[in-house]
Chains A and B, each alone.
Chain A
């Protein structure tokens, strides 16, 4: 395993296969928790942790896990780490935990985590799986943070809770409501396709 491929495993998650845009997986948290930068970023970190840990464990046990029951095994591994994240966030970042609500337990059924376990960690070594998990997790965090920032800035006129436009700005409430999430994500995907196609 040379450094070149490790770097590739890491960086492909940042642009080439950046979730959720390129893979179109894990859309539910992407839409639901990006009302503001803070929640998007927090969700990204939580998912990165689960993704890296589950990748390591799946990769370490890939010779022991029989192919026929691999999906239930993956789900148990992922669910264990999600419970850990849930308890840790409840203890240390309670306000954020409340804001993210049911989307923390829902990391269990996030297709990105299961998808990486199935498509990458089950076939590759531990080192490569960590790189892959970190890259995908950071890519996801960036996407969610950007989407969260756009929606917060235009929808509420604030960034990290501070007003940035002054009193005369009329918040564009559409953006923080449910439809804004879909439209904003769709337009971002369009812009990314445009950049990528050149």
Chain B
């Protein structure tokens, strides 16, 4: 009988779940808040990844600075996109939104291919993040332990931001009842732009953080979109708690499933999605 290293399964699932969370949380908030079907979200993550690759490869920048730069740059670019392209379609039907954003995905794939080529990109991590780390009870890749830390820090920061600040309260109010929020004098338009920028910036950071785990090439924007959408659907639109929980559950199931029953492959991620959505069609923490 083969031995099964339980702690490594838990750690692996957590790390993968955290990655899903970091990339998907922005999508959840923007879809929940604005009701906008933003299929280009994965493309923002991809652009973030390429910013990190370029800064680290060409300019030899520090990994953390590169991540920060990806966040800022993509957040800024996304504001331009939001004002010029997204805003006019806020009241349009979902099909128009889907067509716009999927079109953007194709354009971004082509742009990325033009500038960076089709070959997959890799980064060289700082040496203390590469290789295994001995935790006493098991040894596990240092980078994944770092991912778990980053994800945990991010959920705390987001939770504080949304639950304990005025802007957070305004965003929650706008998600719950946009008209009422507006009539209370909340500038929902500006709120939209800010949340959109935040969501895109987070995606960009996730893109950079994920290079080491899921790679980066121009197809990224489409290949992983399904997983981001699954996380959002299972978690419930607009709920940070829900996205977090969904990302962890899906990450865990996926990792444990592949570890224990590799033949079943990617089946687990879909099984858990179907099960949750049958039970709660609005997602774990979704309203409506």
Are A and B part of the same complex?
no
